[in-house]
Chains A and B, each alone.
Chain A
Amino acid sequence: MKLHGVQQTKWSGVLIFALLILVFPMIVTQSFYLTQATFAGIYAIIAIGLGLLMGYAGQISLGQAAFYGIGAYTTSVLTATMGWSPWISLPVAILVPAVVAFFMGYTMSRLSGYYLAMATLALGIIVHTLLVEWRGVTKGASGFFGIPQLNLFGFTITQGVPYYYLVWFFVLVVLVLSLNIVHSRVGRALRSIHDSEIASSAMGVNTGKYKMQIFILSAMFAGLAGWLFAHMSYSISPAAFTMDASILFLAMVVLGGSGSVWGALIGTLLIRVVGIVVHALGEKFPFITSDFEHVIYGLILMLVVIFMPRGLFPSVTGWFESLATKRSSKKSMLEVAAAKREV
């Protein structure tokens, strides 16, 4: 019966969230905020994937921007250079990062901890260097121009409200998919890996396989985000896929809370809000430059790790839960523990 309740809150959350997405452009009509919200959606897709990797597989990736870039450049080459339809290039833009992740996974399956962090860092640097130097295909540092717009049923999906809805439609798909994974057999296996890899492999969980699968999935999400980004901005350059971007994605997940699908989403929105606020302050006070943004991201990372190691979302829901336990003594400790696990 308990499980039934949990499932209900899960899907009602998705429903409320979908409604919020629907009404947002009706309330906020300035194109600046709409563009920001669209970007937030693109980043949210990456952050949710990274959150699964960090929170459920217990692995860190310091090179997630590589997969994002591979996705964006794959579709750019296929559509702008080779004249494919963007919709046909979509599965390819998701598949190519997955293939790269698969081969990386072989190296990584032998590594752990700091060695793994190093390997993902290396991947990010290699891909960025290739994007700059492989001029014949990527057009070098100046980047790609003339990436075609998306068409759907004869309508062109332009920047603004249409693209906003497209991006957030994909966010919803990714969100529902991830929540399903988290609540499935695979999710339980992954959580057990996170707690103790040795114990779970002793229980017959194929830890390597699940870690590999989640790593590939997170790369596919990033590839999808890259596809969305390329067809939104019509021009891309390697500057968008640096290590700074990878660390920004990391900050989103850490702030919201790894080990929570909702947390990654909320973290993304908060980091975007911080960016907007700093930008707005910078227009009033000239000494606040964009570097200030980095100072704040750095501060956020440090403060969250020290004061809220689980991240914002799990911490806040944790407080509510402990409040609820104090009020209703009927609720057994076991149920609370179960609820915590399910978030």
Chain B
Amino acid sequence: MPRSVPRTVLDVTVNNHPGVMSHVCGLFSRRAFNVEAILCLPMHGGEASRIWLLVDEDDRLEQMIRQMRKLQDVHDVRVSTEKTAVFDQLGTVMGG
């Protein structure tokens, strides 16, 4: 089935310590904004992590990004549509 809303990826750099994931995911769940897929890996020897969130590109996205930038543990948020391909590939591995 073709999707009506295009998807994009939020590339988020965060501090790597317990609780950060709750802060980020809580922002989305409180606004009933679904996160379709999540990837998270530590970087820079574990001090920071990089989270990729696959999300719908709807008109609330800009507000979500601004809210995310306010989180103290979030260093940077970028939108990167090309990265959706990575999730497609992972989908073939995990989807079964």
Q: Do A and B bind each other?
A: no
